Amino acid sequence: MIYLDNAATTRPMKSAIQDAEGALNELYFNPSASYAGGIQTHGEIGRAREEILSLVGGTENFGLIFTSCGTEADNQAMFGSVKRGNLVVSGGEHAAVYECAKELKNRGLEVRIAPLNRDGSVDRDALLRLVDEKTALVSVIHVNNETGAVNPVGRIAEQVKEKNARALFMSDGVQAFGKIPFRLTKHIDFYTLSAHKIGAPKGIGALIVKKGVKAEAYLYGGGQESGKRSGTENVFGILAFASAAKRKFSTLKEDGERILSYRERLFEKLDKDLFVRLSPENGTPYILTVSAKGLRGETLVRMLSDRGVYAGKGSACSSKKPFSRVIEACGVERELLDGVLRFSFSPENSEAEIDEAAEIVNRTAKELYGRIR
């Protein structure tokens, strides 16, 4: 099996799981307990929090709330901070942000959608024109999870604050964290993470919040996470998250260079009579999105799976839709919307796998094309 759907989820790192095993075997205490075991467990959570923040330069000016996933982190940022005014979001937002915006609209807020460029990046000039004195929050995804386009969120946040210093700025960093170089800036108020995208288990994410910024609790109960996210902490998940993140950042540059070569090698070997590239060359190394002209991406994904290649047809969270809202917002021609294929990579992939996958993809697409002619 050649796994090329790492933007959907990744295989957990054995080393991260081993590092966190103590949370199951020895540090099984409730972190809220006042005896020694509970205090020690609580301390390990604090250490993990600081380690993750340090990787993006956030230890001094930011806090971190552990959540169950990136979706919960996005929800808390939006519902915990926006009460009135208007909300500006890019048309490329993940469903976890986009659906929150729709719900906030149902609750009476004005929602403004900034258009996308062809590659999936936000049209910055158009976005800034939507920001005014009543804008409460602006959300721009860091790495478009469907095309791999990278938005310069640090600079965009600065430009937003120049127009309205009171507006909050958030970015979904799920496809960026641990994959591309990045440091938090003073203009970013919220930044969200998901552990299972970087080799940690599912069930753990995080919301990074600039100190002094209001982020109301999303879950109420025992007051864990400094009262911002009640519920007994997922100690195993938290420690595995910190371990995986530390390892990802330790090899971030060399992994990025190698995976970029895989991305370009795969595209070079794809049949250009059948496939059109949708991903930008200057996007994340980890995502290559193409469209199979005249074919159905869903059918192709299933056929590839039968032949040992696992790829996606876009965001896994949008897999039940006929075609991608985000790809359509890029202005992609209708005849290409149905044939979208997303290949996403990890450091576990090899050059030999890329070559074999390219051969299987070409052969399968030609076979399917022959059936419909």
Q: At what angle do helices 252-269 and 351-372 cross, to 10 degrees?
A: 30
> Could you report how far apart the first and last alpha carbons of the chain are, in Å?
30
Pick from 250, 248, 252, 238: which is nearest to 47 by CA? 238
**What span, in angstroms and rounded, lies between the C-alpha atoms of 113 and 136?**
14
> What's the confidence (pLDDT) of residue 338?
92
CA distances, 33 to each of 47, 67, 68, 191, 324 (Å): 17, 20, 21, 30, 47
304-314: burial string, b at 16+ Cβ within 10 Å, e else: beeeebbbbbb
> What's the confidence (pLDDT) of residue 218?
87
In the numeric block, which tokens belong to residue 230?
């009640």
Average pLDDT of the residues of the chain? 95
CB 349 within 8 A of CB 286: no
Whether residue 372 has pLDDT greater than 90: no
**What span, in angstroms and rounded, lies between the C-alpha atoms of 279 and 146?**
8
> What's the confidence (pLDDT) of residue 317?
53
Continuous segment of H or E residues that includes residue 341: strand 340-344
> What's the confidence (pLDDT) of residue 40?
96
DSSP states of 112-154:
EEEPB-TTS-B-HHHHHHH--TTEEEEE--SB-TTT--B--HH
69, 100, 317, 330: the catalytic one is 317
CA distances, 292 to each of 4, 5, 295, 337 (Å): 17, 17, 6, 9
> What's the confidence (pLDDT) of residue 315?
57
pTM of the model: 0.95
**How do residues 300-359 score in pLDDT, each as one tens digit?**
999 999 999 999 986 555 555 667 899 999 999 988 999 999 999 999 999 999 999 999
Mean pLDDT of 224-231: 92
**How do residues 65-114 score in pLDDT, each as one tens digit?**
999 999 999 999 999 999 999 999 999 999 999 999 999 999 999 999 99
> What's the confidence (pLDDT) of residue 22?
86
**How do residues 111-143 score in pLDDT, each as one tens digit?**
999 999 999 999 999 999 999 999 999 999 999
**What span, in angstroms and rounded, lies between the C-alpha atoms of 300 and 306?**
10
> What's the confidence (pLDDT) of residue 321?
62
330 assigned to active site: no
> What's the confidence (pLDDT) of residue 350?
97
In the numeric block, which tokens belong to residue 329?
């917002």
Tell me if residue 305 falls in helix, strand or coil: helix
Residue matched to tokens 């108020």: 189
Mean pLDDT of 32-59: 96
Whether residue 210 has pLDDT greater than 80: yes
Q: What is the dihedral of CA 309, 16, 53, 63, to 10 degrees?
A: 100
Mean pLDDT of 173-177: 98
DSSP state of 206: E
Dihedral pair phi/psi, residue 113, rounded to 5°? -105, 120
